[in-house]
Chains A and B, each alone.
Chain A
Amino acid sequence: MKELLNIKNLYVQYNTDEAVVHAVNGVDLIVHRGEAMGLVGETGAGKTTTALGILNILPEQVGEITEGDIVYDGKNVLNMSKKELQAMRGKQVSMIFQDPMTSLNPIITVGNQIDEMLLLHFKELTKEQRAQKVDDILKLVGIPAERKHEYPFQFSGGMKQRIGIAIALVCQPDLLIADEPTTALDVTIQAQILQLMKQLKRELGTALIMITHDLGIVAELCDNVSVMYAGEIVETGTVEDIYQRIENHPYTTGLFNCIPKLDSNEKRLTPIAGYMVDPTDLPKGCKFHDRCPYVTDRCGRENPKAYQNGTHKIKCFRYESWGEGDSI
């Protein structure tokens, strides 16, 4: 498969009045055409910041990319003009958010909102052709086309998220970034949305970055997984590499162990020791070291490189014997 997105050594910080927040600290991430990549990690890991970086929509004044490259389809996003960026957003890369109202306008009918995207990116289409596309995309996401004259508030949460997906996909982008799109939804509605995303991937070949804290969603939907901690990807591989749970980064193991099992009656869960590191005051060495059950002196001094075994890469000295791989 062809490479679509290549993030190299990305550093993002937020310069606030109180402190500098080191949100993303040297991320390497490749997404191929048609691939579904899961980006998992707990609150504050830097998932959303990475996504905002890809679209170059970090909060102005505060958010700053201090190092790295984001190459999309051969072009560096960080060198694009305003016009090029605008042409890319929505047409080549789209994003949907946990709260669909982030991308919906409350006082414009949903049909007109979808139409606006088409007007922006497909100036050559006639009014009738656009109307047809609006109907088609609504049908595709499971909303009757006759409801296009309604306003967002007239739809339920699950339906709003479908509309968000319709707006994101109407221009048939090559890459969809979905940031916790089902976190606010009930499980049966979540199941419908996940099913829809699987279908879109199959039918339209859209590549997907699925940002979530839910390891179940990744197992269900994704081809590959990257696990983030304190602004770094600490492990990446195919879903099989990670979910076989034979060789994992200690943080990944910790995440799996926190989830209660449906098939056992264990009395106590095994939380990860300690708390998330402070991104304004990151520790030296491996950022996970003071929570890690396998910590050695070296972990506090030196940040491990990515060690690689086939498709599987882990940033932990325990896997040094795999040999150094490409960075992650």
Chain B
Amino acid sequence: MSKPVIKTKNLTKYFKTPRGLLHAVESVNLTIEEGKTIGVVGESGCGKTTLGRVITRLEEATSGEVYLEGKEILGLKGSAKRNIYHDIQMIFQDPYSSLNPRLSLGDIIADPIETMGERMSKKDLHELVLSLMDTVGLPPRYYNQYPHELDGGRRQRVGLARALALDPKFIVCDEPVSALDVSIQAQILNLLMDLQEEKKLAYMFITHNLFVVKHISHNIMVMYMGQVVELAEKNELFAHPSHPYTKALLAAIPQPDLSSRGKNRELLAGEVSSPIEPKPGCRFSPRCPYASEKCRAGEIPLKEIAPNHYCVCTLFSN
């Protein structure tokens, strides 16, 4: 086993809402090793973004711990808190909204270095920015351009260059290719994987696209309404999906081939609701074809059902 970069312990985030406490992220335990990617999948509202924001301290956790290379970071304050961004960064689905429209690309990429790094000469900074642009495949002629002059794929490259500026160990990638056409998506995925190999980066890759998550991840975590329902090595997960929700999710993907033509798929009925003051037990149980009394009785333990394959479901808890 290689070195764990990020570890969470019972990481939890509740939001106060007019209708009660919304349990956005419920007691998540995960480990991400150096050079590895954990994929986080699930439908909108299941807590993926909140999980990423809590780990990166863009949002304060309600309870739980996050360890960066063994050191707890949620308790850090002031400059010690700020310093985690030397090691932890985040990229977003819509880099446009996170890029200052009035700054040129050169200035945008230089910004984290100027605010966080050590003072350097204009010339050194310029060279560093150009080398970062080169790393993410942006030709130097873009240095003086503005975000609105770029298409989505190139903007995502800018977001990535910015995230790489401080040479982090861990990047939360929140749906970074979801808004891109497949040909551009393929370029960005290749780039992310090349960078990971080169720099031994650890990624948390958030997406609702199951083709993408299978491709980029080593391990995959499936979430439903704030709860982790299944966690496994990716090939194991796709070969033996075990939680009824994971099965439904995988069965719902339309395949770009002739294999499932004419076949009627098993459909998951109903819709996700929001986890406001949720009842105890499995939050998927109201839609689950296998649900029984046990599912609503109380907390269901995480069970290792095969090597490196964990599932939270009463079907496996005896």
> B284 → chain A, closest Cβ, in Å?
11
Give residues of chain A (163-206) contacting chain B, Cβ–Cβ below 8 Å.
186-192, 194-195
Q: Is A83 an interface residue (CB 8 A)?
A: no
> A49 → chain B, closest Cβ, in Å?
17
Encoded as 1 (CB less than 8 Å from any A CB) or 0, chain B from 40 to 82 comes to: 0001100000000000000000000000000000000000000
List the A side residues contacting B256 at CB < 8 Å. 214-216, 219, 243, 256, 259
- Alpha-carbon gap, A239 to B262, bound state (A): 12
B190 near A271 (CB under 8 angstroms)? yes
Encoded as 1 (CB less than 8 Å from any A CB) or 0, chain B from 237 to 272 comes to: 010000000001101111111101100110111011
Stretch at the interface among B97-105, B115-123, B155-163, B206-214: B206-214
Closest to B197 in A: A267
Within the complex, which residue of B182, B190, B252, B272 is in contact with A255, where a contact is CB–CB below 8 Å?
B182
List the B side residues contacting A216 at CB < 8 Å. 253-256
List the B side residues contacting A188 at CB < 8 Å. 43, 248-249, 252, 267-268
Q: Is A254 an interface residue (CB 8 A)?
A: yes
Encoded as 1 (CB less than 8 Å from any A CB) or 0, chain B from 175 to 195 comes to: 000000111111101100100
Q: Is A290 an interface residue (CB 8 A)?
A: no
Within the complex, which residue of A42, A220, A254 is in contact with B254, where a contact is CB–CB below 8 Å?
A220
List the A side residues contacting B272 at CB < 8 Å. 186
> B133 → chain A, closest Cβ, in Å?
17
List the B side residues contacting A255 at CB < 8 Å. 182-183
A258 near B258 (CB under 8 angstroms)? no
Within the complex, which residue of B181, B186, B261 is in contact with A43, where a contact is CB–CB below 8 Å?
B181
B183 near A254 (CB under 8 angstroms)? yes
Within the complex, which residue of A43, A195, A215, A240 is in contact with B267, where a contact is CB–CB below 8 Å?
A195
List the A side residues contacting B260 at CB < 8 Å. 219-220
Q: Is A106 an interface residue (CB 8 A)?
A: no
A260 near B254 (CB under 8 angstroms)? no
- Alpha-carbon gap, A186 to B175, bound state (A): 14
Please report the total number of B residues contacting A with Cβ < 8 Å: 40
Give residues of chain A (244-281) contacting chain B, Cβ–Cβ below 8 Å.
244, 254-262, 265, 267-272, 275-276
B183 near A271 (CB under 8 angstroms)? yes
A271 near B184 (CB under 8 angstroms)? yes
List the B side residues contacting A315 at CB < 8 Å. none
> A271 → chain B, closest Cβ, in Å?
4
Q: Is A53 an interface residue (CB 8 A)?
A: no
Encoded as 1 (CB less than 8 Å from any A CB) or 0, chain B from 204 to 229 comes to: 00001011101100000000000000
- Alpha-carbon gap, A258 to B212, bound state (A): 11
Q: Is A156 an interface residue (CB 8 A)?
A: yes
Q: Is A46 an interface residue (CB 8 A)?
A: no
Q: Is A217 an interface residue (CB 8 A)?
A: yes
Encoded as 1 (CB less than 8 Å from any B CB) or 0, chain A from 8 to 43 comes to: 000000000000000000000000000000000011
List the B side residues contacting A287 at CB < 8 Å. none
Within the complex, which residue of A191, A214, A275 is in contact with B265, where a contact is CB–CB below 8 Å?
A191
Q: Is A158 an interface residue (CB 8 A)?
A: yes
List the B side residues contacting A47 at CB < 8 Å. none
Closest to A158 in B: B271
Q: Is B235 an interface residue (CB 8 A)?
A: yes
- Alpha-carbon gap, A85 to B257, bound state (A): 38
B211 near A260 (CB under 8 angstroms)? yes
- Alpha-carbon gap, A220 to B253, bound state (A): 10
B267 near A271 (CB under 8 angstroms)? no
Closest to B265 in A: A191
Q: Is A213 an interface residue (CB 8 A)?
A: yes
B186 near A258 (CB under 8 angstroms)? yes
Instruction: Answer whether A271 and B193 are a contact pair too, CB < 8 Å, given A215-B256, A219-B258, A220-B254.
Output: no
List the A side residues contacting B187 at CB < 8 Å. 271
- Alpha-carbon gap, A265 to B256, bound state (A): 17
List the A side residues contacting B193 at CB < 8 Å. 267-268
B267 near A191 (CB under 8 angstroms)? yes
A262 near B44 (CB under 8 angstroms)? no
- Alpha-carbon gap, A268 to B261, bound state (A): 28
Q: Is B124 an interface residue (CB 8 A)?
A: no
- Alpha-carbon gap, A240 to B235, bound state (A): 29
Interface residues of A (CB under 8 A from B): 42-43, 156, 158-159, 186-192, 194-195, 213-217, 219-220, 239-240, 243-244, 254-262, 265, 267-272, 275-276
Provide 22 A-B residue pairs closer than 8 Å at the C-beta atoms, listed in order of the A residue. A43-B181, A186-B208, A188-B252, A190-B252, A192-B268, A195-B264, A214-B256, A216-B253, A219-B254, A219-B258, A220-B261, A243-B258, A244-B258, A256-B256, A258-B185, A260-B212, A260-B214, A262-B210, A268-B193, A269-B190, A271-B184, A271-B187
List 3 A-B pairs, minimum CB-CB distance, nearest first.
Answer: A216-B254, A260-B215, A215-B256
